Structure 1
Amino acid sequence: MKNKFPSKTTTDVSEDEIDYCQKLIHAIENEGSISAFPKVKEQLNLLKETVADDSEHLKISADQDAAVGHKSADTSFFGYKTHIAMTEERIITAATITTGEKNDGKQLQTLIEKSKAAGIVVETSLETPLIRKKITSHTAKKTKLN
């Protein structure tokens, strides 16, 4: 059986590792006597999911401008953030797009300036505690602007 498995990769390149795993999956699936075992099937499914996830992440991470950001202390993402300003009627008056690692609060002034340039009279802004880096309260706070 060992001679039916693909040769292991000798590089540390992710694409080579994924290619090896895909060949390994194919070899195991084609060998019915092995893939019929529940423990093997379970591990094979886990490997398939991992390969699919890694393949997707490789496609996404090819974007040189994207960056890792954090939604919370435990949760991260790779990509971009969209920051928006809107009226009480929920009409979008300004938007900026930044890489994932940019601080949300630092975009507020830019959004206010863009809204004013669009003819909107800005009287208050709504800041969440996460933007203000205060996670003690989950209620939004209105702030008077000059």
Structure 2
Amino acid sequence: MAWDEWEQLKAEAADRQPTKMQLNSIPVEPGGGGPSTYGDLKVDNKDLIAVGKAAHDLHKDFDEASDKARLASMSVVDSMKKGDGFELGEAIDHVAVHWVDQVQSLLDATAHIANHLHVTQSVHAKDEVYIEGVISSISTLDKGFDERTTGK
């Protein structure tokens, strides 16, 4: 393809498309309802912060409450096994051990949620900076091409 042919194709494309840059978007629905709400993912930092805080609060509160229950169970088990001689102490001990395992699973899950949301916020903030940089670079590049073709 010769340079003149390339320039002619660019000019024809510019005539067909008067805008310099167009971002893809969802067509406006009839009736002026604005863009479709289907398929759009929108998360604000305040939403992530709220979910992360709820997970952190659940983790903290459940850790404190379960620790009290664990200590009370150990006290009962010790009393029944040693002091009172009840065989029920072994059964309560068995349940308490499994309870601690379940508590740890829930604590791990809530900590994972809170940590993941914190990381998600950070990643999205970095993505925003990157996207802004790319778009401004495209705009600057586009302006340079305009200056070259129009002489301004």
Q: What is the TM-score when the length of structure 1 is the normalising length?
A: 0.32
| Rg comparison, structure with higher value | 2
If each structure's helix is expressed as a fraction of its own residues, which one has the higher value? 2
